[in-house]
Amino acid sequence: MGGAGGRTYVVTDPSDDELIIPKKGTLRYGVIQDRSLRIVFARSMVIRLSQELIVNSNKTIDGRGAQVHITGAQITLQGVKHVIIHGVHVHHSAPHSGGMIRDSKHHYGHRTRSDGDGISVLSSSSSIWIDHVSMSSCADGLIDVVTGSTAITVSNSHFTRHDHVMLFGASNMETQDALMQITVAFNHFGKGLVQRMPRCRFGFFHVVNNDYTHWQMYAIGGNRNPTIISQGNRFIAPDDGNAKEVTKREYTPYSEYKDWVWKSQGDVMMNGAFFNESGGQNERRYGQMDFIPAKHGKYVGKLTQFAGTLDCRVGKPC
């Protein structure tokens, strides 16, 4: 739902100087409100966050119509529902020491150190949609989803120049992540990426119609028995002969992972890429109602040609 049904709030001021009493017109003022809002931007701008940006529930951050860059610190979705992040560039997020930061209209408190993720989703957040974003070069993960968060889609986005791209489930001890369900669809994993596209623990992950044109170590990995259904993706392995395998099961012997359900259906494997499937007694049959429809991997180039932020202007269709 995002901010559906709410008013439109226009960001006119790219500054981020006030953390306890944010200035009206700034992005921080908009995201802390306790009501539904669609947040748009008056013009193209670079927003350099001075500390993590804590987003309240029922918000749509909509960068269409401008080129909006959010940098400096991470975007945090903690214990919230119904948030859409669309059409923005997120890059060069750095760790921060924390301090007194407002997280809603009626509350502020002391925050501990932030890691420097691009977008961090945690503490049982749900109904989150990250769409048409362009992300690169953050200090930690580009997108992390942890601690019981679920019902999340990452779609139509473009990722470049980063090591740890997506982490879904941060700890082997967080068994609450067994309820996690995430869809990764129609994204382009591009130049300068190393690993974790995504790296998963415990939950259920549908990876569909993505274009993997670069990785240095592996594309999809995980441990703690996640279910991973890969459908209609294109995997182009690097020339390095040591990184042809799409998958990686972290620190897990075959005797344990042989029953994990990791399936490749309709994927295209190029330049020697291969997907190490598994599945046994825990496997079930999945019908059409379980997933968004997948096209064969040969169509991925067209499906992802507009991944990332869109070049929208007034009077020009996206």
Q: Give tens-digit pLDDT for 172-219.
A: 999 999 999 999 999 999 999 999 999 999 999 999 999 999 999 999
> With pLDDT > 90 as the criterion, what percentage of the chain qualifies?
92
| Catalytic residue IDs | 196
Confidence band for 300, pLDDT divided at 50, 70 and 90: very high
**Binning pLDDT at 50, 70 and 90, where does residue 127 land?**
very high
SS3 136: strand
Which pLDDT does position 290 carry in this prediction? Answer: 73
**In this structure, are strands 99-104 and 107-111 parallel, antiparallel, or unpaired?**
antiparallel
CA distance 135 to 78: 20
Report the DSSP beta bridge partners of residue 278: 262
Instruction: Tell me the backbone φ, ψ of residue 81, rounded to 5 degrees.
Output: -135, 155
Q: What is the average pLDDT across 115-141?
A: 98
Residue 240: pLDDT band (50, 70, 90) is confident
Decide if pLDDT at 316 tops 90. no
- Write phi, then psi, for 292 (nearest 5 degrees): -65, 150
Q: What domains can be seen in the chain, in order of their start residue?
A: 1-70+83-113 (no CATH), 141-318 (2.160.20.10)
Percent share of the chain, pLDDT over 70: 97
Span 158-177, pLDDT tens digits: 999 999 999 999 999 999 99
